[in-house]
Amino acid sequence: MDSIFGSYTLEEVKLMGKNTMLNHIGIEITSIKNNTIKGKMPVDNRTRQPKGIMHGGASCVLAESLASLGAFLTLKDKSATCVGMEINANHVRPVKEGFVYGTAKPFHLGKKTQVWTIEILNEKQQPVCISRMTIAIGRLHLKI
């Protein structure tokens, strides 16, 4: 079976994170195979909340980054783009240090929308967060 990600290589996908939030908070894309995209994120001063545990928003950043990149890699029309419409997250376990690991896989790949599920685990492979994201596919017209 062909990959939903086309001919993109892991190195090409890693370069897409350069000079973005991924780079700023240390998210690293680690795999794009078996129709999933995986990454890891450090739990450190960039991703912790004041009580010393990983900020829930950081989980959402990891989830949205993986799902958005995954969606982009599936686009056959190179003039199209994808943007997040909705994300939800259930935080089930705190993390104080180390890394968390996210795996995003498509639930629905439509012409105008995609839905992705993202699981985030700690270093002991215990669940930290389960998330779902809806992505709009189309042409983006911004006036800045």
Known catalytic residues?
64
Contact 137, 102 (CB under 8 A): no
User: Which tokens in the block code for residue 48?
Assistant: 């912790």
Q: Please work out, in degrees rounded to the nearest 5, the angle formed at the alpha carbon of residue 32 by the alpha carbons of 28 and 35.
A: 140
Q: What is the side-by-side strand order in the sheet with 36-43?
A: 28-33, 36-43, 98-109, 113-121, 127-138, 81-91
User: Which tokens in the block code for residue 58?
Assistant: 């950081």
- Residue 67's contacts (CB-CB under 8 Å, 6 or more residues apart) are 84, 87, 104, 116, 118, 131, 133, 135
**20, 50, 78, 81, 124 from 89: Cα distances, Å:** 22, 20, 30, 24, 20
